[in-house]
Amino acid sequence: MSSLIIPSPLSASPPAVSPAVAAPWRRVCVLRRDLRASLGDGVGHGGMVGLGETYFPAFALAVGLGELMAGFVASLPLVAGGLMQMISPWAIRRIGSHKRWVICCSTIQFLVFVPLMLAAWWGQVSGAVLLGLAGLYWAAGLSTGPAWNTWIGTLVPRGVRASFFALRTRLAQAAVLCGFLLGGLTLHAAAATPHLLTAFGMLFALAGLCRLVSVFMLARQSEPVLVARKMQLLPWHELRHRLGTCSGGQLLVYLVVVQAAVQMSGPFFAPFMLEQLHFSYGAYVTLISTAYLAKVLALPAWGRLARGLGAQRLLWIGGLGIIPISAAWIVSQNLVWLLALQVISGVAWGAYELAFFLLFFESIAEDERTSLLTFYNLLNSVAWVAGALVGSAILLGCGTSFSGYLLVFGLSSLGRLFALPLLARVAPREVSVMHVSVGPVTMRPNSTTLNAPILASLPDTVSDSWCQTAS
Q: What is the 3-state secondary structure (H, E, C) of 71-103?
A: HHHCCCCHHHHHHHCCCHHHHHHHHCCHHHHHH
Phi, psi (rounded to 5 degrees) for 440: -70, 135
| C-beta neighbour count of 96 within 10 angstroms | 12
Measured between alpha carbons, how far is 277 from 462 in angstroms, rounded to an integer? 48
Residues (pLDDT < 50) of the chain are 1-14, 17-18, 20-21, 363, 460-471
DSSP state of 273: I
pTM here?
A: 0.81
Q: What pLDDT does 6 receive?
A: 46
pLDDT (0 to 100) of residue 10:
40
Which residues does 242 contact at the CB level (< 8 Å), separation at least 6? 248, 249, 466, 467
pLDDT score of 77: 84
HSE (CB half, 13 Å, CA atoms) of 6? 21
Q: Give the number of other CB atoms < 10 A from CB of residue 381.
A: 24
Pick the CATH number of 31-227+235-457 from 3.20.20.70, 1.10.1200.10, 1.10.3720.10, 1.20.1250.20: 1.20.1250.20
pLDDT on residue 7: 45
Whole-number pLDDT of residue 436: 57
Q: How far is CA 141 from CA 109, 134, 249, 311, 376, in A?
A: 7, 10, 25, 29, 15
Domain ranges of the chain: 31-227+235-457
**End-to-end Cα separation, the chain, in angstroms:** 41
Q: Give every CB contact of residue 53 below 8 A, 6+ residues apart in sequence.
A: 137, 207, 442
Region of residue 391 (phi > 0: left; psi between -120 and 50: alpha; otherwise: beta): alpha
pLDDT in tens, 342-383: 999 999 998 998 888 777 655 455 555 556 666 777 788 888
Q: Do residues 182 and 271 lie in contact, with contact meaning Cβ atoms separated by under 8 Å?
A: no
Residue 91, class by beta-carbon neighbours within 10 Å (0-12 exposed, 13-18 middle, 19+ buried)? middle
- Asked if 48 and 183 count as a contact pair (C-beta separation under 8 A), the reply is no
